[in-house]
Amino acid sequence: MDKQSVFIPKLISRKEPFAPGHRACIGCGEALAVRQLCKELGDNVIVVNATGCMEIIASQLPNTSWTVPWMHTLFENTAAVASGASAGLRAMKRKGKGPSQYVKVVGMGGDGATSDIGFGALSGALQRGHDFLYICLDNEAYMNTGIQQSSATPFGASTTTGPAGEKSLGQVSWKKNLPAIVAAHDVPYVATACPSYFHDMLSKVRKAMAVRGPAYIQVLSVCPTGWRCATNQTIRLGRLAVESGMFPLYEVVNGEYTLSLDLPTLRPVREYLKAQGRFRHLPDHEIDYIQTRVDKEYAKLRKLSRVAKAPAAARPAVTHVPESQGEIAAGLPALQETVDGILARYRNDPALLISILQDIQAAYNYLPKESMERVGSGLNIPLSQVYSVATFFKAFSLKPRGRNLIHVCLGTACHVHGAARLRDKIQRALNIEPGGTTPDFRFTLETVNCVGACALGPVVMINGKYHGQMTAQKVDALLKSYT
């Protein structure tokens, strides 16, 4: 959950591969998720789309919202068709007939098509190791056919095939943990995401696209129609799902679990449940049961996980902060090797300049002048273009920063809870101003306008880890924990 200081509308593409004009319901979280996902997927993809909401609303002839190669397939065989497309591309390349650029096959299906009807095909494709990304658009029921229950429907939810009544609670089983099942196939990359935390989601798509092999992302997609909630509550409910632990955000990279957002305390599930008509019938003792189960599952996940600190998987960790340009020059061959490796990972594509600079900054905690010169020559673009991007975004730094990067949120919710006092306390403790770095390069202090965690305010973020409900009295102990 890093780089929150970037002005996001200027960071993501303005191009709309998933074009407007479709027939999605008002407030559809799934359409929002697909729009955001497609911005990161780019043009060099083949989308294989199961029957479901996105197929129904975006592909009615003679119109379509898809501006990339797209195939409609059945509930049960999305992963099989994606496997065939991936194998076909590999065969064409072997015969020298394939496209000159790398093309990623992306399967998309709802939770029913993924966890129920199409699970056998998905499991087989994962087991065979096909090179494709599968995205489950999880709105927790078969919404396009009439809000029927799926194995991803959460406990207690009322659906048309499992309605609540005098003798029925609604769904009586716990939501299937499909990400864990996929991870058990030993695939390189598995993640959960939510468009309410879209920067995190796009980062995960970027990582999944870089995998050569199977990758899986499960995206929680709020459905106002099926969840029976207000259409203007889509983003809020996505955040409540994450903050209550009902849908935690995490990654599994080569079998290693990492929490994307580690909350000091979970919000009560009651806040999330009571905002939706599908749960309004639940008595207090059932809500208490859900709370107990969520707490148990979240504790289990935390035990499996480490908290995400690096900006992205596979990016080199910061092991040393150079204190001068002379020191950088002395280690120039190693720097050039690191930059060349990053360029190769992104196939020397100038369109991915921002991601390349992010990885370099992850390695050195800033952008050395020599690294930008290497990027310019490696991408065959003017050095001025590299500098224009590096100086435009606040997240990039052209001067060395400390090993521990402190962000104090000064957004409205944090401000009213005393964020300014926190900032002043940290300034006095470290004897630096915002934007400054301690002489021993232990800390750099910066302020941001929002980190997207208003419920936890005031928030201090260090190395991407959130420290919520902070007070000036806690600052000294917090800083001491980062040696």
pLDDT digit string, tens, across residues 107-133: 999 999 999 999 999 999 999 999 999
How much is the pLDDT for 320?
45
How much is the pLDDT for 111?
95
Tell me what the mean pLDDT of segment 90-102 comes to. 89
Contact 342, 356 (CB under 8 A): yes
How much is the pLDDT for 308?
43
Topology adopted by domain 404-480? Glutaredoxin (3.40.30)
Please list, in sequence order, all residues whose beta carbon lies within 8 angstroms of the beta carbon of residue 3, skipping any fewer than 6 positions away.
199, 311, 358, 395
Give the DSSP H or E segment for 455. none
Helices and strands: H and E segment counts in the chain: 19, 13
How much is the pLDDT for 277?
93
What percentage of the chain carries pLDDT values higher than 70? Answer: 92
CA 462 to CA 233: how far, in whole Å?
Answer: 30
How much is the pLDDT for 312?
38
Of 253, 461, 346, which Cα lies nearest the Cα of 44? Answer: 346
317 pLDDT band (50/70/90 cuts)?
very low
Looking at residue 248, its amino acid is P
Domain boundaries, the chain: 8-307, 325-392, 404-480
Q: Which residue has the higher pLDDT, 252 or 198?
A: 252
How much is the pLDDT for 66?
93
Q: Check whether 273 has a pLDDT greater than 70.
A: yes
Architecture per CATH, 8-307: 3-Layer(aba) Sandwich (3.40)
Whole-structure pTM value = 0.65
Please list, in sequence order, all residues whose beta carbon lies within 8 angstroms of the beta carbon of residue 274, skipping any fewer than 6 positions away.
280
CA 284 to CA 150: how far, in whole Å?
Answer: 24
Question: pLDDT per residue over 362-402, tens digit each?
Answer: 888 889 999 999 999 999 999 998 998 898 877 788 888 88
How much is the pLDDT for 380?
92
How much is the pLDDT for 97?
87
Q: Check whether 7 has a pLDDT greater than 60.
A: no
Please list, in sequence order, all residues whose beta carbon lies within 8 angstroms of the beta carbon of residue 214, skipping any fewer than 6 positions away.
125, 126, 129, 130, 131, 132, 133, 134, 185, 187, 188
Count, residues in the chain: 483
306 pLDDT band (50/70/90 cuts)?
low
Question: pLDDT per residue over 329-371, tens digit each?
Answer: 445 568 888 899 899 887 888 888 888 998 898 888 889 999 9
319 pLDDT band (50/70/90 cuts)?
very low
Contact 454, 414 (CB under 8 A): yes
283, β-bridge pairs: none
Q: Check whether 287 has a pLDDT greater than 70.
A: yes
CA 342 to CA 354: how far, in whole Å?
Answer: 12
Question: pLDDT per residue over 391-431, tens digit each?
Answer: 887 778 888 888 899 999 998 889 899 999 999 999 999 99
Tell me what the mean pLDDT of segment 8-30 comes to. 82
Tell me what the mean pLDDT of segment 198-209 comes to. 91
Q: Check whether 183 has a pLDDT greater than 90.
A: yes
153-185 in b/e burial notation, b at 16+ Cβ within 10 A? bbbbbbbeebebeeeebbbeeebbebbebbbeb
Looking at residue 285, its amino acid is H
Please list, in sequence order, all residues whose beta carbon lies within 8 angstroms of the beta carbon of residue 354, skipping any fewer than 6 positions away.
11, 389, 393
Mean pLDDT taken over the chain: 88
How much is the pLDDT for 307?
53
323 pLDDT band (50/70/90 cuts)?
very low
Strand boundaries in 314-398, DSSP class E: none
How much is the pLDDT for 314?
41
Chain-centroid distance of CA 271 in Å reads 23
